[in-house]
A = this chain, B = another copy of it.
Amino acid sequence: MSAPQHGQIVAPDGGSVRKLLRVTAPVDLAAIDPRSTPGLPPTEVTGERPKTWARDQVELVGGELGRQQEMLYAMATAASDRPARRVLLVLQAMDCGGKDGTIKRVAGAMNPLGLHIRSFGPPTPQELRHDFLWRIRRALPPPGYVGMFNRSHYEDVLIARVGSLVPEATWRARYDEINSFERELADGGVTLVKVMLHISYAEQGERLLERLTDPRKHWKYNPSDVDARAQWDDYQAAYAEALSRCGTDAAPWFVVPADRKWYRDWAVAHLLRETFDTLNLGYPPADFDVAHERDRLSVGGAGRSGPQMNSR
């Protein structure tokens, strides 16, 4: 974040990854190549090493996101900006899809003080006593913050469906419940960016094998991952329906091809940048008399005898 940066942010080819990556019903995941790189500028721009170029761009975009974050936070302190605005990135993916890596790279280039990152695992006994959105509501970012959800309420129409954790009537009803919930969030000042990181079956296999091969990665491996992998087609169908049913103007879904990690990070960073651009943020005006405060400060600094300590 503080490393010296060279160059400038280059806009995605075609101007907007929000347009290129947005999906609407009916969503056909098989038609989206997980190795593709929509919006990536041509080689004349990126040079022969697009990976290195994209990583540098993520750092640059991260700096810009940090400036936007500060304005978002500053605006939330002003009583005039109500409902106070928030941004919420929802990340979903198959196992090994790169949710952690995306947060590490993209959030890692932003200001940690304004981030509100939450991961959702299997529901706890306490969480299971409530409706599926209860734990989600408790994890929403406060006003002025950028939230990032590592998994989300969408698990309740994904693993809950494929694993038959609840009756079909229950998960079928959830699509509408999610749409109502997200509509409510949008009305309350939350700008949602929902991203599915889209990896291929082959890429998942390679990444799982890597976790089994490198002892430093054993802790990331869970035998249940292979069970879920055996249900790949069912999961893809569940994703397609969730994206089709819950991709709304208030809370759009984006599919980011994610076999190439560097493209994935670059695309998510630009999705956030373009989302911030739609907010037209600025700094709030002072809610105090600036000249008066300057007078008070100069009196405190020179007009008294000064502190006993640290007077050097």
Contacts and interface: CB of A to CB of B under 8 A. Distances in A.
Interface of A: 1-5, 29-30, 33-34, 55-56, 58-59, 74, 77-78, 100, 103-105, 107-113, 115, 117, 119, 150, 200-202, 205, 208-209, 212, 215-216, 218-221, 223, 226, 229-230, 232-233, 236, 283-286, 288, 290, 293-294, 296-297, 300-301, 304, 306-312
A113 B110 CA distance: 12
Contacts of A232: 307, 309-310
Given A209-B294, A215-B285, A226-B293, 12 more contacts: A29-B309, A30-B308, A74-B220, A100-B113, A107-B113, A108-B112, A110-B112, A219-B283, A223-B293, A226-B296, A232-B310, A236-B307
Given A2-B59, A218-B290, A223-B288, A297 B103 contact: no
A296 B212 CA distance: 11
5 nearest CB pairs, A to B: A3-B3, A218-B286, A30-B309, A1-B108, A107-B112
B111 A200 contact: no
A37 to B, nearest CB: 15
Nearest to A282: B216
A interface, by DSSP: helix, strand, loop or mixed?
helix
A287 to B, nearest CB: 8
A55 B2 CA distance: 7
Given A208-B297, A297-B212, A301-B205, A74 B233 contact: no
A200 B312 contact: yes
A105 to B, nearest CB: 6
A229 B113 contact: no
A199 to B, nearest CB: 8
Contacts of A219: 74, 77-78, 283-284, 286
Nearest to A103: B113
Nearest to A59: B3
A23 to B, nearest CB: 15
Contacts of A307: 201, 232-233, 236
